[in-house]
Structure 1
């Protein structure tokens, strides 16, 4: 009991130190527990968004599950009856096996097709009519169709006539009105089956999930479900069952990524069940393709999260070690006294282990809930230190979070106990000797870890640069935004190694400054320089901590800005403007041939092949496009990808652009620095001459073309039109200058060519063909305004590319969300622990130097001089470390951020990859650091003012 009393008294005495340690442990637990929470929540949201997008893009309900099968005619009726009953029971349990609620369930059954004739058909009709049909049933058909004319069938009619529903098209094909009887006659026996249409129906879709379409089966007589089962399933009839189908609309919002294996295994099991059981079968689940990739996505995201978190984890580990080391340093005298009085190392370690376990238990109780809050912050992150009002992530604490949190606590406790274990080796005499040798070299520098870490980071950087060169040369696709985990770990090694190397040299620099001005320094500055040069190892921890925080903060900011900026630039450049729109043009183009039919060849009377027919188009009103709601400016942009050119006696293929220079300059997006001059300068250059064109540098270099040279262009079936080259360009909105394969610097690789001319000249001298409409939206206008107006004005849209929607979809990519969220969170946490670590270090340092300040005051040093001494000490330690951090952060950004090109497809990364630095990130970083130093100095000043320095001079103090 005495040892427990000692533990609690000891913790109460050092409550502020223990509170700092508990804070670090709690943040550590929160950070680790947020990893599985975030991975699960973001993948869950992404799955839901992808399923929603599937419904939007393809008009398919994502929760649909459909199994259909033919029924083999080789089996007996009783065999088929038994198999159908088993299939019904199997499909009835499908929602339960998948763990999803059924929103609707449709069973469709149909007989074999047969020739049908009106009962009152004339002899001529009997010979000429060739209408076929089948008897079909749909469960709860009265809820799924709308009666246009007539009534619903009577299921209880027993006079041998089947009352049925038909579509409007089918009743026209039957050439009779409702309530006329139609007859099917079996040839071999002469038996007849009589059907009477009593109602005309159309599909009724009152909700998104009930997707039964009666028009899909036009040649059908729909009879009541119960009647069909009784006469064709339970009992043998003139007609055999041909097709069976079961269709569920399941609640896809209940789909959980934890059960993806269940969904996929059930889909496979359903395929296996129906495979040739009754006949030829197919199972369709639209959600299968999106969910099939999620296991791979989860693995990649988990690896990426670990790599993203690693720098922050390193800083947290550093903070915990620093805090524990400072606490142990303060208690070394007490530990050495206990050792000298007979306490064993095991007993002392038990005391520290108990303290750590208590703090760890408290951190484990609070940390996971803070981790939930961290996860919600990550979900709201739209960019680095940017947050949006996005729907909150669905975050639920689970066992994985607590397992990882417990492992984090265990690791942290081991880290905390290391300084305690080392401290138990020293006796009271050894401790006093160690205090007298405060200027010894640190373990980091003694073992050369700085050189080792820097060497490893540089070697890995060389390897990645080599890989990037190979990637460019072969134009390989590294799979969209797949980020290499080591890209985040290497900079941390580089920052630590460089920081330690700088701090190895820095004390010698201080000694040099001290030696140069030793005759002129004021007493306060003299004491400061002497203190820092002789006790460099004392300040090493806080300086390394500040260097790592600032350097990794800058790297995180620049890396996130670069990835976001290049992805957004790529989308905007490829689209060319806010919206790219193509509408239908009326034309005299012949219809496409039937599938499998031989291709038609255009030939003259003698059989000789002729040039392909030139299609004549009718241009729709362009003014209508400019008057759409939300449109600020619209421009006509003609693109012909398969055009040809002739220049200097040589021919080649090219992409031909036709534009209106004034309108194009208002709508086009172009990143600065891609062209030798602003894009509007090029547009002004060619505006004065209708024949003027701009050509790509690839065309100019290969065919030795220069401004002023004539060039002609055309496409199939046309005569050439003559142009004059006015300028040479490297890039153009919407045009990719990179080759599909190979390195663009290889002379043997074929590069794309481009010619940009006037639309009116091309239309007058070549042909009038469909062009795109590029639209720039008004300030604050949304895409929905244009979409609604297009529907309202019934404009036949054939293609629409919306840059804003593509940007939104890009920002919702789980890997991009992870980069933005984790880097933002890591930066904020780094700043927090840096602030607390800064305060902890300097408060404890001041407490240990009370005697020194008392002696200085006794020597006549004023209080303000002591404050000045502290300020200069701060500038030469903390401020210097922050300056080193900024320099190292910029260096690591310049060397490592370009490696993120590995995350982009080398063949379509246009505009070219560039490092993005934003002034606001530097301002935020400097503001946080400045506030931290100011508050720290204020706290230190207050602590010094409250010190009872005169008591430090009592005899026996030291």
Structure 2
């Protein structure tokens, strides 16, 4: 019976299954995406740490020291630990092992030369014998040959480094006799080869400089094992195991295994020799441990981003389930009147829903894996780029999340069933006769409740943001409260429902105003929509939420992306900032040998300016400017004194190369540069300086640094913002709510570079470059190399922007908002089409009668289009209005994601026409396609069939 019932309503059932499937798939993307993006960022961070420190992060070094153990005990311990490292530890790390280097070191022993003539009676030098497994593959011989793996005439052949030869004043093939009470028997060694690293960046070498073997002799692995360890010729002082791991294959799912293996390894080694005889070095450990917190915050962010879409999907499932139940209410009422128990009716629907939810649960996470690829490729709202693929895996957590989503979908489908089974056959017939019933949400005033909660949330966030700024607190990576997305969704829902409550009165007004002039088609449409308004409520609410949340998502994504980009561009000042090494007469700093640092001299340093001509000629450069920055320049204005950042520029070049958005100052940026261009004494000062020191336009200000005589400058203009200048007080330095404590806000003076160099002194400046839009960064760097420019620092804004775009939190924001909107549009289209198809089928008799009384097909289609305009069109219009209002109100709260002191330029809500073009074109295409399908269905209606249906 259940299967036959599903077959009779196949399109409705398929639509409901689609909603369940999308819900399960969307929710399952959260753990899959979190794992994938954090795995990628973990590798990127480890790569960055390697670049910064020069230490390969994918290593794990453990060392055990032997003190009072017997020879047998040491041998057994080393053998047992070797076996543990080869099996359990190697497998436990969960990533490919490039090398497992076993290190052995004997106790320090004295030695003498076999030739008695070399024994001068001086203190005998000491050394150790070392062994490294697999060394031969990673070294090259500088001199001599490789040693034998067996004793040669009772002598052990060994390798040495150049440093060891120098330290011991040796030549190759000199026989040395080890003399020490700890030695069992006579031990002779002979260095036969000098080795060096085959590759400088080979991670095999724990000590990259080989300084650790600068006073030791290195034996063959096989020889060391058979003679030193097995025969106990010399006591072992320590044994080490150095894992070289391919950290690029490390993923978040393997992090816990890595940490557990490290913990177990430490425990095993400590149990073998004692806690205080073990040393460990794991460079990646600190980076790895931070990722658990980042994963939790990312998961919270994704939940909060998906909440509006999940509400929408739940609403969709409820709406389709309600449509299914509406079509079967007559059957339910008949069954109840014939004695069927309520639970029996509910059980039949529950079995159907359980079957659909189970299939959605099984398939949803697989679709979620595909959707995750879309998340990783998102570069903005409805904007995609080519990126390297994220490591994506289907995990148990994805099925757990998908199962929860399927269970919620099941509950949503059962609500209409439970409500329908309460109605008897008489009550059902009464409901059919009452078109003007008030929806539940209007009876319960859910619109007022949702609006009240959302406005209270807005007030709370504004107060929180004010406290954050006044206390100068810090914010971590995209620290967004989950309610920041829930509250706007409530506002959208509440505002949409409130406008729908008022909409019937607007329809009545329109009908009343033109009741004497409306043509029959419009008259019939107004009556149809006005009398059956409650039938359209579900669809209209659904469309309102889809469009409004789409508009809000576009505004939120564009605002956060653009503000992030603007902060980077403003903070750098220009597209490329170069710092060159200037020849000078600064005396070199002498080593202090552990004593107090030498006192700095007050002698002035004289610099020689390198040529500037090569910079404008670099490949792809559009403009170049000299920019001198002196952070702690002193100044005086009247009786007021202080320190400020002094910037020296050439106004024309600077205006072409620097970046500053419009609207930050009272006048355009270039007007200020033109203002001071004509007078070399003219300067611009920051408003912070003007306010704190009571300086105004036309005043004279004296500025300088060090022992130089301060020179007079004339204030021509006061500016709020200037490239790289942050007027906000440092974090935690002031209480912004107290006007009296703002006296330490940073200050700025901008003057002419030529006058500063001539009157105050010649010191190194930066070179700011603007590249052509199509310029290649690779060609630019090759140009620097070809020009042989001696640079000490390069700031590349393009690289910083790419790094910011690849931040997992920003990627999650763009990806989830885009994916949520696309899913919403798909679901809306299915819901829209489903609703109107069923509506047309239900009104076949009415449409046939209208055709029979003389209405043409064109008039009938125009009636349908008008009905669409009054319902779907009005819902879209309300959605646009509500979405824009929600963006204006709630998007400013996202500035809490940034550090208050770094909010330069100030945070502002941004919209881009391209976002709305994508949004409205997608929705418009959906509506036109839907109307086209409905018009085709109308054209297929046969009058005689419709009338025959009425007779039946």
Same fold? TM cut 0.5: yes
In the alignment, what sits opposite 1:225?
221
1:101 aligns with 2:78: no
Aligned to 1:355: 352
Query: How far is the alpha carbon of 1:878 from its aligned partner?
Result: 1.2
Deviation for aligned residue 1:161: 4.8
Task: Give the C-alpha shift of residue 135 in structure 1.
Answer: 3.7
Q: Which residue of 1 aligns with 2:145?
A: 151
Provide the residue aligned with 1:830 in structure 2: 824
Deviation of the 1:232 alpha carbon: 4.6
Q: Distance in 1 between matches of 2:184 and 2:939?
A: 116
Aligned residue runs from structure 1 range 274-673, under 5 A:
274=269, 277=274, 281-587=278-584, 588-591=586-589, 593-594=591-592, 596-601=594-599, 612-673=602-663
| Structure 1 residue 471, shift from structure 2 partner | 0.5
Tell me, yes or no, if the aligned pair for 2:852 and 2:943 is still in contact at 8 Å.
no
Runs of 4+ in structure 1 deviating by more than 6 angstroms, as ranges, are 114-127, 129-132, 187-193
Do 2:112 and 2:119's aligned partners in 1 also have CA atoms closer than 8 Å?
no
Cα gap change, 1:244 to 1:722, in 2 (>3 Å): farther
Contact 2:150–2:156 under 8 Å retained in 1: no
Deviation at 1:273, TM superposition (A): 4.8
Question: What is the Cα deviation at residue 925 of structure 1?
Answer: 1.7
- Helix, strand or coil at the partner of 2:525: helix
Partners of 2:137 and 2:768 lie apart in 1 by 45
Q: How many residues align?
A: 942
Contact residue 63 and residue 286 of structure 1 kept, 8 A: yes
Q: What root-mean-square deviation, in Å, do the aligned CA atoms of Structure 1 and Structure 2 show?
A: 3.1
CA distance in 2 between counterparts of 1:700 and 1:682 reads 16
Distance 2:221 2:885 in 1: 75
Separation in 2, partners of 1:278, 1:867: 86
Correspondences of 1:640-789 after superposition (within 5 Å)? 640-740=630-730, 741=732, 742-744=734-736, 746-749=739-742, 750-788=744-782
Q: Quick one: distance in 1 between partners of 2:633 and 2:755?
A: 15
**Separation (CA, whole Å) in 2 of partners of 1:859 and 1:550:** 39
1:930 CA displacement: 1.8
**Deviation, structure 1 residue 556:** 0.6
Structure 2 counterparts to residues 817-856 of structure 1, below 5 A? 817-856=811-850
**CA apart distance, 1:714:** 2.6
C-alpha change, 1:593 and 1:865, in structure 2 (3 Å) is same
Work out the CA distance in 1 between the residues paired with 2:491 and 2:893: 14
Deviation of the 1:466 alpha carbon: 0.6
Q: Residue 103 of structure 1 contacts residue 209 of structure 1 at CA under 8 Å; is this kept in 2?
A: no
CA distance in 2, matches of 1:630, 1:110: 57
CA distance in structure 1 between the aligned counterparts of 2:184 and 2:43, rounded to whole angstroms: 57
Q: For the residues of structure 2 that align with 1:395 and 1:673, how far apart are their CA atoms?
A: 44
Q: CA deviation at 1:822?
A: 0.8
CA contact (8 A) 2:622 2:769 kept: yes
For 1:605, the equivalent position in structure 2 comes to none
Q: 2:178 & 2:307 partners in 1: Cα distance?
A: 76
Q: Return the TM-score normalized by structure 2.
A: 0.92
Q: Which secondary structure does the structure 2 equivalent of 1:67 belong to?
A: strand
Cα offset for 1:919?
A: 0.5
Q: Which moved more, 1:847-856 or 1:184-193?
A: 184-193
Whole-angstrom CA distance in 2 between matches of 1:273 and 1:767: 65
Partners of 1:931 and 1:852 in 2: CA distance: 28
More moved, 727-736 vs 482-491: 727-736
Cα separation, 2, equivalents of 1:125 and 1:738: 73
Q: Label 1:136 to 1:789 Cα distance change in 2 as closer, same or farther (>3 A).
A: farther
SS at 2:659's partner residue?
coil
How far apart are the structure 2 equivalents of 1:235 and 1:626? 72
- What's the offset of the Cα at 1:705? 1.7
Give the distance between the partners of 1:809 and 1:125, measured in 2 at CA: 64
**What's the counterpart of residue 26 of structure 1?**
21
673-682 or 695-704, larger mean C-alpha shift: 673-682
Give the CA deviation at 1:789: 5.2
Tell me the distance in 2 between the aligned counterparts of 1:33 and 1:591: 60
Is 722-731 or 484-493 further displaced after alignment?
722-731
1:953 deviates by 4.6
* Stretch deviating more after TM superposition (281-290 or 494-503): 281-290
Distance 1:149 1:685, change over 3 A: farther
Partner of 2:57: 62
**TM-score between the two structures when normalised by the length of structure 1:** 0.91
1:878 aligns with 2:875: no
Q: Secondary structure at the match of 1:585?
A: coil
Shift of the alpha carbon at 1:718?
3.4
CA contact (8 A) 1:696 1:730 kept: yes
- Counterpart in the other structure of 1:43: 38
CA distance 1:785–1:270, shift in 2 (3 Å): farther
Distance 1:513 1:190, change over 3 A: closer
Question: Superposition pairs for residues 117-136 of structure 1, below 5 Å?
Answer: 134-136=128-130
Deviation string 1:490-547 (CA, Å, 9 cap, x unpaired) is 1111101111111111111211222222222222222222222222211111111111
| In structure 2, distance between residues paired with 1:111 and 1:777 | 60
CA contact 1:482–1:815 (8 Å) conserved in 2: no
Deviation at 1:119, TM superposition (A): 6.7
Q: Distance in 1 between matches of 2:494 and 2:529?
A: 21
Retained in 2: the 8 A contact 1:320–1:415?
yes
Corresponding residue SS for 2:703: strand
CA distance in 2, matches of 1:645, 1:113: 64
Q: For residues 150-169 of structure 1, what are the structure 2 equivalents within 5 Å?
A: 150-159=144-153, 161-169=155-163
Deviations 1:784-814 (A, max 9, x none): 4444555666655433332222222222222
Contact 1:574 1:735 in 2 (8 A): yes
- Alpha-carbon contact 1:744-1:751 (below 8 Å) kept: no
Q: 1:280 to 1:631 in 2, by over 3 A?
A: farther
- 2:939 maps to 1:945: yes
Counterparts of 2:865 and 2:183 in 1: how far apart (Å)? 112
Q: Deviations over 1:115-140 (max 9, x none)?
A: 7777779899876x998754433223
Aligned to 1:608: none
Question: Which consecutive unaligned segments of at least 5 residues does structure 2 have?
Answer: none
- State whether residues 477 and 809 of structure 2, in contact with CA within 8 Å, keep that contact through their aligned partners in structure 1: no
Is the alpha carbon distance of 1:937 and 1:155 closer, same or farther for their aligned partners in structure 2, counting shifts above 3 Å? closer
Equivalent-residue separation in structure 1 for 2:788 and 2:97 (angstroms) = 36
Structure 2 counterpart SS, 1:752: coil
Write out aligned runs for 1:68-107 (5 A): 68-72=63-67, 80-93=74-87, 94-107=89-102
Structure 1 distance, partners of 2:230, 2:355, is 72
Cα deviation code 1:421-476 (max 9, x no counterpart): 32233333322211111101111111111111111111111111110110110111
- Quick one: structure 1 residues 107 and 468, their matched pair in 2 at CA, closer, same or farther if it must change by over 3 Å? same
CA-CA distance at 1:713 after TM superposition: 2.3
**Displacement after TM superposition at 1:149 (Å):** 1.8
- Partners of 1:69 and 1:278 within 8 A in 2: no
Tell me how far 1:821 sits from its aligned partner.
Answer: 0.7
Change (3 A) 1:183 1:214: farther
Which piece of structure 1 moves more, 135-144 or 916-925?
135-144
CA distance change for structure 1 residues 523 and 590 in 2, over 3 Å: closer, same or farther?
same
Secondary structure of 2:423 counterpart = coil
